[in-house]
Every structure is written in C-alpha cells, then in structure tokens.
Amino acid sequence: MLPLLASSSEQQGAASASDGIDWEVARQRMSMLSQMGFHPFLMPLIMENRDAIGLENEQIKTFRAWRSKNRVPLIHTMNEIIRARAEFQRIALNPKTREEVLYAKQEEIFRLHRKVLKYQLSCRRNILDTFDNEQWDNFRFILTENGYVLDE
C-alpha cells in the first residue's frame, strides 16, 4: 500500500516549522490518490499556501482540528480502496469468479468511494465556512496556478 504519512526523514527535511507536516509531500501523495474520486484534496494546497491566502491563526487551528479528527480515518478508507481494487483485479482474472461476486466487490469499492467523498465534502464545507471573500479569491488564484480549471 502507498504510505500516506511522511517518513521521519521526509518530515525532517521540509516540514513546516509550525505543524511538523511536510505539506508538499502530503499534496504529492494525495494527488497520486486523486484517481480514487472526483473531488480534489485541497487541505495540503491550502496549508502549503497559507501565507499567500492570508490565513489567520484561528483559521489554521480550525483546519488543523478538522485534520486531526478526519485524517487517519480518511487514510484508512483510501487504503481500503487500494486493497479492494487490487483484490477486484485479482479475482476478475480468475475464470471461476462469478459475476455476482464481481458486482458485490464493485459495490464495496463504490461504498468506500462514497465514504471518501463524504470526508472531502466535509473538508470543503470547512473551507467554505472558514474563508472570507478575499481569502477565497486568493485561493482561487492558487488553484489556477496549480492547474485547476474553475468556473467563473
């Protein structure tokens, strides 16, 4: 499985002095897993650019609280998806596997994807409730600089 947590050597190298997290590593790893769903992982990008966005300490605390509560369960769910996808591919190549088994396994994967989406939408809501208009404009600029296509 793809480890989503930075190793100690990675953390020592470029970790933010204020939170001990290398947000660049987190963003890279989350982008590798973005194929699991349609909603982007925004928190690493926000924390990496918190000065440019103009986040205040209380807002950073709000985001860290969300992360502390949801990060580990989200990572476990994403690892379950990786495991379930690998298992699906393995059993799909077995001619003795019945179609009903494959449908059931695919439904399990869909259920896990919905669970990840629930976390992502919770994060999105947290962002929408926390940013003011100027911060949202700053973040939209950062998103476009990172290749995201936005609605007007």
Residue 77 lies in a domain: yes
- Alpha-carbon separation of residue 109 from 20, 69, 80, 91, 97 (angstroms): 33, 23, 8, 14, 17
Residue 28 lies in a domain: yes
Average pLDDT, whole number, for the chain? 83
Residue 52 lies in a domain: yes
Residue 79 CB partners (closer than 8 Å, separation 6+): 1, 2, 4
d(CA 113, CA 4): 17
Residue 37 domain boundaries: 8-145
42-81 pLDDT tens trace:
888 999 999 999 999 999 999 999 999 998 999 899 899 9
Residue 26 lies in a domain: yes
pLDDT score of 19: 61
Number of domains in the chain: 1
Nearest by Cα to 48 from 73, 68, 30: 30
pTM of the shown model:
0.71
